[in-house]
Amino acid sequence: MHAIGIDIGGTKIAGAVVDEFGAIVRSERVPTPAGDPQLLEDAVVAMIESLSDDGPAAAVGVAAAGFIDAAQSTVYYAPNIHWRNEPFREKLEARVGTTVVVDNDANAAGWAEFRFGAGRLVSDMVMLTIGTGVGGGWVLNGKLYRGATTSAAEVGHTIIGRDLEFGNNVPGDPFPQRGSLETLASGRALDRLADYAAIQYRDSFIGKMLATKGSIDGHDVVAGAEAGDEPSLWCLRVLGERLGIGIANAINTFDPLEVVIGGGVSRAGELLLGPARDAAFRHVVPGLGLNTTIRIARHGPRAGVLGAALIAAQEYAEDTGQNLQGAISGEAAP
Amino acid sequence: MHAIGIDIGGTKIAGAVVDEFGAIVRSERVPTPAGDPQLLEDAVVAMIESLSDDGPAAAVGVAAAGFIDAAQSTVYYAPNIHWRNEPFREKLEARVGTTVVVDNDANAAGWAEFRFGAGRLVSDMVMLTIGTGVGGGWVLNGKLYRGATTSAAEVGHTIIGRDLEFGNNVPGDPFPQRGSLETLASGRALDRLADYAAIQYRDSFIGKMLATKGSIDGHDVVAGAEAGDEPSLWCLRVLGERLGIGIANAINTFDPLEVVIGGGVSRAGELLLGPARDAAFRHVVPGLGLNTTIRIARHGPRAGVLGAALIAAQEYAEDTGQNLQGAISGEAAP
């Protein structure tokens, strides 16, 4: 018996089969047809069918960046895909014939890390996902905290400032804009920093990448940074400092034992997390940070698919009274 | 049967007797001898004794701005008074002979508003106290959320930015500093804005106050604003805009149904809350703010003493199995 998790991102759809021990036994990914809800639905159905080759799943969990109703059924609004009041659970259930649960992608990632990852030993954990946008998932007292109308943890929209304290140390940073964490520290922000740095330093690794390919993005920056390219390292330092302020705000707000950083940009690892950790501990209340560990998600960008499957398995257990045995069914409801 | 609440602020100690229906039946206030822990202890004991004239209290709750241990006994650190690892519960219990509970002042205020004030009809409520500093109290799923090491809700230390979006609209604002909410939106920040505006506009209400008295503070600004003094209104608008960003961050983080503003500066009422509300709704995720009411604490600056008494009454009920009857004993533990 197994569950399927699907994570619909701004650029790709990831899917996985998760066994009863919380292990990903098979995974797939395709580009997101973000502009067309019907094509998107078809792509998700095709992925579920493909992942069901070896037998039907007990339940399917779908994670997406957006506002989802308390019944885990309807996506009110998803900024990166063209959904408005989309009854996605109902539509999918009619087509795939299994229980479907829809949840916020950062909630799903947070739940996966809490159950089987960086937060498995604590009761209070903050998850930040740095992908196309910036998402958050709060596990408080061992449960996902969703807020009064299931819209908590919109941390990407919190304001951390426009002309930051370290602004003078990053001359020429051209993208302060509105001052939200997402504007300043998302994958899109990294893309903009990459463009800026590549144009400034045409002989650098990313400068040459830009000349060769015509456009560059965060992946090129991470590759450059791993090769020691200074402008690439600069991009990750700037992004890390901004992310660090977001982390500090989360620590000052929640006093968690674990802060976990996931999403595609977390692939940069310590090259991003080092500067982020430095900035975070400079901005927390003195003493408070001593209790908190900041680390990259154990499941990396796959935390979303894993968490979606775990939440679906939980729903299945509640609906049928039948657990998917072992670790996946767990004792704590999300 | 009644409980006593004591709220130790940076400038004054407030005390009250709270009856079994959650009503304040008697109150006192004295200046805080902030520089001397022994004088402070003596002042608190004297106030408890004075408030016990009509009979001993079942329990005493003490609220203070600071970090307090999970046993509600020791103040690890209090920024505005000279306490470091102060075993205040033990000391007081030895002198007054009743159960004493020590808690964070914003937690106490939040609990009072949740039980008997602006948050009494909801399960998720955010309290911000704007006094000498800025404090926070989070009521999530009907309980005070304290974090892994009882240091959650240090919202005054969250960074909202240095050179804010509306910076160009408040020319000459000389106090951006580190960019924390407390630096920008506390009573101390209002004092600094008052000085600045009074010097710039010597013929204004606060300009004349400054010339007459030699120094002015937030109280003068509120008096000036109520009299229509434009520089005073400017001070409250600037403070309100900054506070509004703090409120927006809290809404984006928690998705609460109620945001409650307390502390001494909340006496300014709508003159502060109007600009704060405008700024908050400009900075929340579109749609999210529709669910949330932002209002001044029903119990105003007295929320701290009331909440301290309620928390103490709860402790008494748990220790003795004997409720202080009626509303004060309540069903929900803080």
Nearest to A159 among B161, B257, B287 (CB): B161
Q: Where in chain A is the domain with CATH 3.30.420.40?
A: 3-111+301-329, 123-297
- Three-state SS sequence of chain A: CCEEEEEECCCEEEEEEECCCCCEEEEEEEECCCCCHHHHHHHHHHHHHHHCCCCCCCEEEEEECCEECCCCCCEEEECCCCEEEECHHHHHHHHHCCEEEEEEHHHHHHHHHHHHCCCCCCCCEEEEEECCCEEEEEEECCEECCCCCCCCCCHHHCECCCECHHHHHCCCCCCCCCCEHHHHHCHHHHHHHHHHHHHHCCCCHHHHHHHHHCCCCHHHHHHHHHCCCHHHHHHHHHHHHHHHHHHHHHHHHHCCCEEEEECHHHHHCHHHHHHHHHHHHHHCCCCHHHHCEEEECCCHHHHHHHHHHHHHHHHHHHHHCCCCCHHHHCCCCC
Q: Where in chain B is the domain with CATH 3.30.420.40?
A: 3-111+301-329, 122-297
Contact residues, chain B, for A126 at CB < 8 Å: none
Residues 115-154 (A) with a CB less than 8 A from some CB of B: 122-124, 136, 140-141, 145-154
> B38 vs chain A: nearest CA distance in angstroms?
25
- Domain B122-297 CATH (choose: 3.40.630.40, 3.40.640.10, 3.30.2000.10, 3.30.420.40): 3.30.420.40
Q: Please compute the mean of the pLDDT values over residues B83-91 and round it to a whole number.
A: 92
> B213 vs chain A: nearest CA distance in angstroms?
36
> pLDDT averaged over chain B?
88
> Domain A3-111+301-329: which topology?
Nucleotidyltransferase; domain 5 (3.30.420)
CATH for A123-297? 3.30.420.40
d(CA A276, CA A295): 10
Q: Please compute the mean of the pLDDT values over residues A204-223 and round it to a whole number.
A: 96
Most confident of A1-10, A275-284, A324-333, B266-275: B266-275
pLDDT number for residue A323: 65
What one-character DSSP code corresponds to residue B163? B
Interface with B, mutate which of A84, A123, A134, A154 (most B CBs under 10 A):
A154
SS3 state at B327? helix
The first and second tokens of residue A157, run together, are: 């929209």
Least confident range from B13-17, B100-104, B322-326: namely B322-326
Least confident range from A16-25, A243-252, A264-273, B168-177: namely B168-177
pLDDT digits (tens, 9 = 90+) for A108-166: 999 999 999 999 999 999 999 999 889 999 999 999 999 988 888 999 989 887 543 33
Overall pTM surpassing 0.95 (yes/no): no
* Residue B24, pLDDT above cutoff 60: yes
pLDDT digits (tens, 9 = 90+) for B216-267: 999 999 999 999 999 999 999 999 989 999 999 999 999 999 999 999 899 9
pLDDT number for residue A146: 92
pLDDT digits (tens, 9 = 90+) for B244-253: 999 999 999 9
Sign of the Cα pseudo-torsion (A281, A284, A287, A289, in order): negative
Residues 163-222 (B) with a CB less than 8 A from some CB of A: 163-165, 167, 178-179
Q: Which helix (H) or strand (E) holds B320?
A: helix B303-320
DSSP states along B240-294: HHHHHHHHHHHHHHH--SEEEEESGGGGGTHHHHHHHHHHHHHHSPTTGGGG-EE
> A313 vs chain B: nearest CA distance in angstroms?
24
Could you report the predicted ipTM of this complex, rounded to two decimals? Answer: 0.84
